[in-house]
Amino acid sequence: MGEELKEYRGQIDRIDDDLLRLLNQRAALARKIGHVKGESTVLRPEREAQILQRMVRNNPGPLPDQSITQLFVEIMSHCRALETQLCVAYLGPSGTFSQEAVEKRFGHAVLGKPCNSIDDVFHTVESGKANYGVVPVENSTEGAIGRTLDLLLQSHLKVCGEVMLPVHQCLISRAAGLSAIKRVFSHAQSLGQCQSWLNTHLPAAERIAAGSNTQAILLSLEKHADSAAIAGVMAAANYDVPVLAENIEDDPRNTTRFLVIGDQEVAPSGKDKTSLVMSAPNRSGAVYDLLAPLARHDVSMTRLESRPARSGIWEYVFFLDIEGHQLEPKVALALDELRQAAAFVKTLGSYPVTT
Amino acid sequence: MGEELKEYRGQIDRIDDDLLRLLNQRAALARKIGHVKGESTVLRPEREAQILQRMVRNNPGPLPDQSITQLFVEIMSHCRALETQLCVAYLGPSGTFSQEAVEKRFGHAVLGKPCNSIDDVFHTVESGKANYGVVPVENSTEGAIGRTLDLLLQSHLKVCGEVMLPVHQCLISRAAGLSAIKRVFSHAQSLGQCQSWLNTHLPAAERIAAGSNTQAILLSLEKHADSAAIAGVMAAANYDVPVLAENIEDDPRNTTRFLVIGDQEVAPSGKDKTSLVMSAPNRSGAVYDLLAPLARHDVSMTRLESRPARSGIWEYVFFLDIEGHQLEPKVALALDELRQAAAFVKTLGSYPVTT
């Protein structure tokens, strides 16, 4: 072995010794915090968000910010596991985008619990069988996932965080080529995310919505000579179906946003948003009036989503994301005024903003 | 926030600053090593094994050795990914024990490539579509996985490492209870691992071998009123089938051993084993004679497995694992003498021992 190589390896060994010592010191401190009076909660989302933000802000490289974030997520995951192993429910099966979202947020020293519906994720957390749940709430191309919004309205659980996950779609099929394809199966969301591509490359193919992308693959395989499915590259590999076209999503920044739900109110991290749902009286200008308190207190709204109200009492409910934490004075004031004006306001939770 | 909590958090912040600096210094050094003349290989299994051994040996706690190992696997994974993202083929689908084995060995900054058969894993690595492959080779309860042995005999690929993975089995079914179960589906290996449990708890149930535990679940669901499957807890969750009994493997230390295969000869790490395959002439005492060189040079044999020879030239081939690296003098001498005595000897590879 050359002298140069030896020298570098020696330097790495000394760094590893320091890392070993520091990781254990960190874990010992995390454990001490767990024993401080009143600190019974293993996971402090606002604190973890602050740590990750600071690490990325101060990252000198060469490790990319993404590696730094992932490594610190894992470090915190293992420090937490020293106290309790968290259980996190998500929309399964494993190998899906939802599982990726869990790992991105919680690291690998947690127990993932795949559920077979969004309802089931809520139920699993509500009944205490999991500490947190991760559910998709909107896609940057296709918009809201209605079922999640409906369940947020009903559930006593709080939104404790969000996870942004880049999503890339593939056209997969055992057909000889694009020209042979007469129908395309996928979840309605995925079909929507790839509309332009389908219009350009498979204008004549029938588009058939399936319950999930996994089910779409199975359906397409039943008639594989002239069928294709749209799914993630991982799902394609799982079923060993050739990928005919990659990254076919209309917007290359195609991102799915997930919410972390749990029975916990998250403290301010310094860079938060607040989700709420409210109803407006059924008269013209009502929504505009409701938003006036936000404008008055200089609170930005980052999202407004309407959903038909299932209760029948109001015609619509509105899901809002606003900047800031509900404990910040101007947000608290705006929310107070909203509550006076609206027939119904429910705060779903304040939580750290992520990218 | 209390003073005590503030103080601890401040200490953690200072540790995180050090970790951030050290992780980047480490990555910069790893990159420099990549540019040293003659160091074109991104992954040095012997070096990584030495680092992990040293970290565990020196681990003062409170983080358990397992956390330290996993964290350093991730750190090395991200340092490697700065140069090249490794692609690792494994027996899919995702969510299986094989995927866990990949993550345990390579960390998460690699691209996992699920294949639908062991043959396919070999082929994917042989054709250069993946850097390494991970294949199961034996289970502590049920013994060898014959197909892997057969393929090792034929392939030019080398064994570059091993991964030990604890394996826990569950009985899963939608039946009301054990008494309702008339048949149990599973892979032959898994049925074998749970024999005693089945004899005790389901003596009358028919045992039906399936192609995989996943297929077993699907078969059991077709007739769910009186059928069950044996599978891992993750697979059970994926298909949302209730777990009727956990940890039903006969030996709680039930472990599957995987081999890492690749087009690479691994240098000595100081604590290695060597796998080889050889044939014995078809006469009594032949195997005993063949093993004499090992005894003579004080080389311990940790495993001996016989397989019918497919070529028809010899009746059996023998798979041996011996302690030590083929470059160690006494191992080299013993191998030389083996080669003179046996009709056929093929060294499959020397690689670091793991636990």
Q: Which of A256, A296, A291, A292 is nearest to A276 (CA)?
A: A291
Do A90 and A101 meet the contact criterion of CB atoms below 8 Å apart? yes
Which residues of A participate in catalysis according to the annotation? 256, 258
Using the 3D structure, point to which of A195, A227, A262 is the last residue of a domain: A262
**One domain for residues A178 and A291:** no
**One domain for residues A154 and A50:** yes
Three-state DSSP class for residue B350: strand
A200 domain-assigned = yes
Question: What is residue A218's predicted lDDT score, i.e. its pLDDT?
Answer: 84
Question: What is residue A69's predicted lDDT score, i.e. its pLDDT?
Answer: 96
Chain A residues closer than 8 Å to B238 by CB = 92-94, 114
> Between A30, A82, A92, which is nearest B12 by CB?
A30
Contact B75 A72 (CB under 8 A): no
Chain B residues closer than 8 Å to A58 by CB = 17, 20
Contact B55 A31 (CB under 8 A): no
To the nearest whole percent, how much of chain B has pLDDT over 70?
A: 93
Helix (H) or strand (E) holding B319: strand B316-323
DSSP code string of A150-188: HHHHH---EEEEEEEEE---EEE-SSSSGGG--EEEEEH
* CATH number of the domain where residue B32 is located: 1.20.59.10
B250 domain-assigned = no
Beta strands at B272-279 and B316-323: parallel, antiparallel or unpaired: antiparallel
Strand partners, B136: B258
Three-state DSSP class for residue B228: strand
Q: Which of A103, A85, A86, A84 is nearest to A94 (CA)?
A: A103
**One domain for residues B142 and B187:** no
Mean pLDDT, chain B, rounded, equals 88
Helix (H) or strand (E) holding B143: strand B143-144
Amino acid occupying residue A237: A
In the predicted structure, residue B314 carries a pLDDT above the cut 60: no
Do B125 and B261 meet the contact criterion of CB atoms below 8 Å apart? yes
Using the 3D structure, point to which of A189, A210, A245 is the last residue of a domain: A245
B66 domain-assigned = yes
CA angle centred on B344, ends B339 and B345, rounded to 5° = 55
> In the numeric block, which tokens belong to residue B290?
């063949």
**One domain for residues A27 and A162:** yes
* CATH number of the domain where residue A282 is located: 3.30.70.260
- Neighbouring CB atoms inside 10 A of B310's CB total 11
Q: Which of A117, A48, A114, A123 is nearest to A87 (CA)?
A: A114
**One domain for residues A162 and A208:** no
> In the numeric block, which tokens belong to residue A118?
């969004």
User: Mean pLDDT, to the nearest integer, of B299-326?
Assistant: 83
B251 domain-assigned = no
A199 domain-assigned = yes
Chain A nearest CA to B2, separation (Å) = 9
With the C-alpha atoms ordered B15, B17, B20, B25, is the resulting torsion angle positive or negative? negative
Low-confidence winner among B33-37, B43-47, B165-169, B175-179 (lowest mean pLDDT) = B33-37
Q: Distance (Å, rounded) from C-alpha B314 to C-alpha A128?
A: 61
Do A89 and A263 meet the contact criterion of CB atoms below 8 Å apart? no
The residue ranges of DSSP E strands in A226-324, in sequence order, are: 227-231, 243-245, 255-262, 272-279, 301-308, 316-323
Which residues of B participate in catalysis according to the annotation? 256, 258
Question: What is residue B238's predicted lDDT score, i.e. its pLDDT?
Answer: 67
Alpha helices in B82-142 (DSSP H): 97-106, 118-126
Domain count, chain A: 3
A332 domain-assigned = yes
Contact B4 A36 (CB under 8 A): yes
User: Mean pLDDT, to the nearest integer, of B138-165?
Assistant: 89
Question: What is residue A211's predicted lDDT score, i.e. its pLDDT?
Answer: 75
* CATH number of the domain where residue A236 is located: 3.40.190.10
> Most A CBs within 10 Å: which of B36, B37, B71, B82, as the mutation test of the A interface?
B71
Chain B nearest CA to A141, separation (Å) = 26
Distance of CA B18 to the CA centre of its chain: 34
Do A302 and A323 meet the contact criterion of CB atoms below 8 Å apart? yes
In the predicted structure, residue B11 carries a pLDDT above the cut 70: yes
Using the 3D structure, point to which of A228, A262, A296 is the last residue of a domain: A262
**One domain for residues A233 and A277:** no
Question: What is residue A93's predicted lDDT score, i.e. its pLDDT?
Answer: 65
Tokens 């918009």 belong to A143
Helix (H) or strand (E) holding B351: strand B344-352
A236 domain-assigned = yes
Q: Which of A326, A324, A328 is nearest to A348 (CA)?
A: A326
Three-state DSSP class for residue A26: helix
Query: What DSSP designation does A2 have?
Result: -
Closest residue of chain B to A82, computed from CA coordinates: B63
Range of the domain at A303: 272-352
Q: Which residues contact A118 (CB under 8 A, 6 or more apart)?
A: A91, A135, A136, A145, A147, A148, A151
In the predicted structure, residue B223 carries a pLDDT above the cut 90: no
Three-state DSSP class for residue A136: strand
Question: What is residue B264's predicted lDDT score, i.e. its pLDDT?
Answer: 94
**One domain for residues B203 and B330:** no
Contact A92 B5 (CB under 8 A): no
**One domain for residues A216 and A292:** no
Instruction: Residue count of chain A, please give it.
Output: 355
**One domain for residues A292 and A235:** no
Strand partners, B301: B322
> Most B CBs within 10 Å: which of A3, A7, A8, A98, as the mutation test of the B interface?
A8
Contact B108 A108 (CB under 8 A): yes
Do B132 and B324 meet the contact criterion of CB atoms below 8 Å apart? no
Interface A-B, measured as beta-carbon pairs within 8 A, has a size of 191
Instruction: Report CA-CA distances (Å) from A99 to A110, A114, B340.
Output: 12, 8, 54
Q: Which of A155, A167, A158 is nearest to A230 (CA)?
A: A167
Chain B residues closer than 8 Å to A23 by CB = 19, 63, 68, 71
Query: One digit per residue, pLDDT tens: chain A, 355 residues?
Result: 688 889 999 999 999 999 999 999 999 999 888 888 666 677 899 999 999 999 999 999 999 999 999 999 999 999 999 888 899 999 876 667 888 899 999 999 998 888 878 999 999 999 999 999 999 998 776 678 888 999 999 999 999 999 999 888 899 998 888 999 999 999 888 888 899 999 999 999 999 988 777 788 888 888 767 999 998 876 776 677 888 888 898 887 778 899 999 999 999 999 999 999 998 776 767 777 888 899 999 999 988 888 877 666 556 788 999 999 999 999 999 999 999 888 889 999 999 999 7
Do B148 and B260 meet the contact criterion of CB atoms below 8 Å apart? no
> In the numeric block, which tokens belong to residue B299?
């080389």
> Most B CBs within 10 Å: which of A4, A52, A63, as the mutation test of the B interface?
A63
With the C-alpha atoms ordered B262, B266, B272, B276, is the resulting torsion angle positive or negative? positive
**One domain for residues B318 and B194:** no
Angle between helices B97-106 and B65-81 (to 10 degrees): 80
Q: Distance (Å, rounded) from C-alpha B185 to C-alpha B167?
A: 18
**One domain for residues A231 and A175:** yes
With the C-alpha atoms ordered B48, B50, B56, B59, is the resulting torsion angle positive or negative? negative
Contact A29 B15 (CB under 8 A): yes
Q: Which residues contact A20 (CB under 8 A, 6 or more apart)?
A: B55, B58, B59, B60, B68
Tokens 């393929």 belong to B151
Helix, strand, coil proportions of chain B in percent (round to 5)?
40, 25, 35
Contact A67 B78 (CB under 8 A): yes
Q: Which of B254, B244, B341, B243 is nearest to B290 (CA)?
A: B341
Question: What is residue B188's predicted lDDT score, i.e. its pLDDT?
Answer: 84
Chain A residues closer than 8 Å to B38 by CB = 2
Instruction: Residue count of chain B, please give it.
Output: 355
In the predicted structure, residue B95 carries a pLDDT above the cut 70: no
Banded pLDDT at B141 (limits 50, 70, 90): low
> Between B18, B72, B103, which is nearest A22 by CB?
B18
Chain A residues closer than 8 Å to B168 by CB = none
Three-state DSSP class for residue A52: helix
> Could you give phi then psi for residue B163, rounded to 5 degrees?
-135, 130
Q: Which residues contact A5 (CB under 8 A, 6 or more apart)?
A: B33, B36, B39
Q: Which residues contact B13 (CB under 8 A, 6 or more apart)?
A: A51, A54
Contact B92 A2 (CB under 8 A): no
Contact B238 A75 (CB under 8 A): no
A251 domain-assigned = no
Amino acid occupying residue B54: R
**One domain for residues B68 and B127:** no
Distance of CA A121 to the CA centre of its chain: 13
User: Mean pLDDT, to the nearest integer, of B270-279?
Assistant: 94
**pLDDT tens per residue across span B331-349:** 999 999 999 888 889 999 9
